[in-house]
Amino acid sequence: MKAIFAAGCFWGVEEAFSKLKGVKKTSAGYTGGTTKNPSYEDICSNTTGHTEAIEIYYDPKKISYKELLKTFWAIHDPTTKNRQGLDIGSQYRSAIFYHTEEQRKEAEESRNEEQNNYKKEIVTEITKASTFYKAEEYHQEYNKKHGVSCRIN
């Protein structure tokens, strides 16, 4: 199965999801915009509509989509529009990109449940998945390659 989440800088997001049992593969990339084959420089221009995101391949027998959603909510602040920590811009927005109607329903239910934990409104987008463009190789498993750990939120 496949899932796509955006929760700020994709380096830390990828690190968080790649550690989960049942996650087979993660890729950092760009989705949710209009430009074909955008580069990192393109999306940083704030003109393509893309966000930094993580594509996750997982084994639903070992980890459920609901469990992935729990991690998603735990690793970032879903109440800040187009921002996570010091990273500002639409490429850092909070978003869930669903592939199936079941994923959409579970994402909406989890957002409604999660809202109880916040005084401010959750601004996370829940959108049908579109083309996911894998980011440049130097972005893949960045934290692991460089022995760093980003603060996500």
- Which positions are annotated as active-site residues? 9
- Residue 151 in any domain: the answer is no
- Residue 153 in any domain: the answer is no
Q: Does 125 score more than 60 pLDDT?
A: yes
pLDDT digits (tens, 9 = 90+) for 44-84: 999 999 999 999 999 999 999 999 999 999 999 999 999 99
Half-sphere exposure of 143 (CA within 13 A, CB side): 19
Identify whether the C-beta of residue 10 lies closer than 8 Å to the C-beta of residue 29.
yes
In this prediction, residue 147 carries a pLDDT of 76
Q: Does 148 score more than 80 pLDDT?
A: no
Identify whether the C-beta of residue 14 lies closer than 8 Å to the C-beta of residue 26.
yes
pLDDT digits (tens, 9 = 90+) for 1-16: 999 999 999 999 999 9
Sign of torsion over alpha carbons 63, 69, 72, 74: negative
CATH of the domain at 49: 3.30.1060.10
Q: What is the mean pLDDT of the chain?
A: 94
pLDDT over 70 percentage in the chain: 97
User: Residue 129 belongs to what domain range?
Assistant: 2-146
Query: How many domains would you assign to the chain?
Result: 1
At residue 101, φ and ψ (nearest 5 deg) are -65, -35
Model pTM? Answer: 0.94
